[in-house]
């Protein structure tokens, strides 16, 4: 299991702070489906890889603009390459896959409006639920989709495109999608300034693009996104299987510990507070009334980061 391997790495490199309250070693293996649900380690690794390549190319662009003689074609090639790799990173966000599914259903409905889309919408809801902890308006998305599924069998159901548009607008993992979109916008603006020979403005836009790229390649964003999902699933499983629920929370604590170690200054105190709450939750996991309130508190704090 990758969680156990990550624990060893965390201990080796110092971002796992030992404490008698940190019960990381999982005694009961999770069912495989619980390991692969939501944001996977492979997705995280690919987002980090491509965002880091983007970051390198943005820095190359800035270096090129600082030369006494600016070579327009070379600088533009750096920017184009940075956008290419940023688009690659974007494709590993769970939101990207969901939006492409919605796009397919929309196109099919336009061509074949009399088909029954019940199963397609059920599949869409299933994939959205896998990352429910990261969608701030998940309740709206779920309710809207369930209402749509109930009447999707109606031939020529004109509501499908309208409601799918509403759902697509809500599909956003803020810790992943927003930094990528911000960086894409700023690099695009820099390209426009460069073509207009406004070199100072181009450089300023590129410098602004560094921060969102650093957030997803070097800082806490991706670890917090995983922690969000694990806390959500832990709370969801609490009444079904407390052993599995506790495993989720223990794994969430690992990612929070890692996020704390690499976090930006402005989030460090909040992450430290969440870490302390998770330790208390694990220590007193079977005090139902107290734990559910604590999980609500942690979940809300994570959503606001």
72 and 143 assigned to the same domain: no
Kindly state whether residue 103 falls inside one of the protein's structural domains. Answer: yes
204 with 268, same domain: the answer is: no
* Residue 4: pLDDT band with limits 50, 70, 90: very low
pLDDT band at 51 (very low <50, low <70, confident <90, very high): very high
- Report the pLDDT value the prediction gives residue 152, as an integer from 0 to 100: 78
Q: 223: part of which helix (H) or strand (E)?
A: helix 221-237
- Residues 59, 207, single domain; the answer is yes
Cα–Cα distances in angstroms (integers) from residue 199 to residues 52, 59, 189, in the given order: 24, 15, 12
Residue 24's pLDDT is 36
- In a shared domain, residues 183 and 136: no
Q: Is residue 41 part of a domain?
A: no
Give the pLDDT confidence score for residue 1 in this predicted structure.
35
Is 40 a domain residue? no
3-state SS assignment for residue 254: helix
Give the highest mean pLDDT range of 34-38, 185-189, 233-237, 300-304. Answer: 185-189
Is the pLDDT reported for residue 31 higher than 50? no
How large a percentage of the chain has pLDDT more than 90? 69
Same domain, 18 and 162: no
Residues 87 and 107 in one domain: no
Looking at the structure, tell me whether residues 286 and 240 fall in a common domain: yes
In a domain, 46, yes or no: no
Lowest-confidence segment of 28-37, 66-75, 272-281 by average pLDDT: 28-37
- The per-residue pLDDT for 11 is 38
129 and 254 in a single domain? The answer is no
Q: 78: helix, coil or strand? A: helix
Residues 64 and 211 in one domain: yes
Tokens of 136: 């701030």
- Tell me what pLDDT residue 156 has: 57
39: pLDDT strictly greater than 90: no
Task: Give the pLDDT score at 185.
Answer: 97
State how many domains the chain has: 3
Which of 170, 192, 208 represents a domain boundary (last residue)? 170
Tokens of 258: 């890692």
Distance from the Cα of residue 267 to its chain's centroid: 17
- State whether the Cα torsion 2-219-256-22 is positive or negative: positive
Has residue 42 been placed in a domain?
A: no
57 & 191 share domain: yes
Element containing residue 271 per DSSP (H, E): helix 265-283
66 pLDDT higher than 70? yes
Distances (CA, A) of 231 to 115, 207, 305: 38, 35, 14
Mean pLDDT of the chain: 86
Smallest CA-to-CA distance from 223 within 48, 50, 84 is with: 48
CATH code at 183?
1.20.120
In a domain, 253, yes or no: yes
Q: Is residue 16 over pLDDT 70? A: no
What is the tens place of the pLDDT at every residue in 136-185?
Answer: 999 999 999 998 988 877 755 778 888 999 999 999 999 999 999 999 99
**E strand residue ranges, the chain:** none
Q: For 197, left (φ over 0), alpha (ψ -120 to 50), or beta? A: left
Task: Express each pLDDT in 85-140 by its tens digit.
Answer: 999 999 999 999 999 999 999 999 989 988 888 999 999 999 999 999 999 999 99
81/205 same-domain check? yes
User: Could you tell me if residue 107 is inside a domain?
Assistant: yes
Is 199:206 a contact under the CB 8 Å cutoff?
Answer: no
In this structure, is residue 296 part of a structural domain?
yes
pLDDT: which is higher, 30 or 66: 66
- Structural domain harbouring 269: 2-30+219-304
* In the predicted structure, residue 36 carries a pLDDT above the cut 90: no
Q: Given 170, 199, 229, which residue is the final one in a domain?
A: 170
Question: For residue 138, how many other CB atoms are within 10 A of its CB?
Answer: 17
pTM: 0.84
What is the three-class DSSP state of 251?
Answer: helix
**CB-side exposure of 120: number of CA atoms within 13 Å?**
19
DSSP string, 164-211: HHHHHHH---TTTHHHHHHHHHHHHHHHHHHHTT-HHHHHHHHHHHHH
Residue where the block lists tokens 């999770």:
30
Instruction: Assess whether pLDDT exceeds 50 at residue 289.
Output: yes
Alpha carbons 94 and 84: distance in angstroms, whole number: 19
Our measurement of the distance from residue 103's CA atom to the centroid of its chain's CA atoms, rounded to an integer in Å, reads: 20
CB under 8 A, 24+ apart: contacts of 268-276: 270/301, 270/305, 271/220, 271/224, 271/305, 273/301, 274/227, 274/298, 274/301, 274/302
Answer yes or no: do 229 and 295 share one domain: yes
């Amino acid at each position: 299991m990758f969680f156990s391997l990550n624990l060893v790495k965390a201990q080796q490199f110092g971002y796992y702070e030992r404490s008698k309250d940190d019960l990381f070693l999982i005694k009961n293996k999770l069912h495989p489906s619980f390991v692969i649900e939501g944001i996977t380690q492979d997705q995280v690794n690919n987002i980090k890889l491509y965002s880091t390549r983007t970051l390198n190319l943005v820095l190359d662009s800035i270096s090129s603009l600082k030369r006494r003689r600016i070579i327009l074609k070379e600088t533009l090639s750096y920017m184009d390459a940075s956008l290419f790799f940023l688009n690659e990173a974007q494709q590993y966000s769970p939101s990207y896959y969901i939006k492409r599914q919605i796009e397919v259903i929309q196109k099919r409905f336009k061509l074949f409006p009399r088909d029954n889309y019940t199963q397609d919408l059920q599949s869409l809801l299933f994939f959205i639920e896998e990352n429910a902890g990261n969608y701030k308006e998940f309740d709206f998305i779920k309710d809207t989709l369930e209402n749509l599924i109930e009447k999707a069998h109606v031939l020529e159901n004109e509501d499908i495109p309208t409601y799918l548009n509403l759902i697509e607008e809500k599909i956003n993992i803020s810790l992943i999608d927003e930094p990528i979109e911000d960086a894409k916008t700023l690099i695009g603006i820099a390209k426009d300034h460069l073509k207009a020979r406004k070199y100072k403005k181009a450089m300023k836009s590129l410098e602004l693009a560094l921060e969102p790229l650093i957030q997803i390649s070097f800082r806490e964003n991706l670890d917090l996104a995983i922690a969000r999902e694990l806390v959500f699933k832990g709370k969801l499983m609490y009444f079904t299987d407390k052993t599995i629920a506790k495993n989720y929370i223990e794994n969430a604590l690992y990612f929070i510990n890692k996020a704390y170690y690499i976090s930006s200054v402005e989030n460090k105190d909040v992450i430290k507070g969440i870490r302390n709450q998770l330790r208390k939750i694990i220590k007193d996991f079977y005090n139902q009334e107290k734990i559910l309130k604590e999980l609500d508190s942690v979940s809300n704090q994570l959503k606001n980061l």
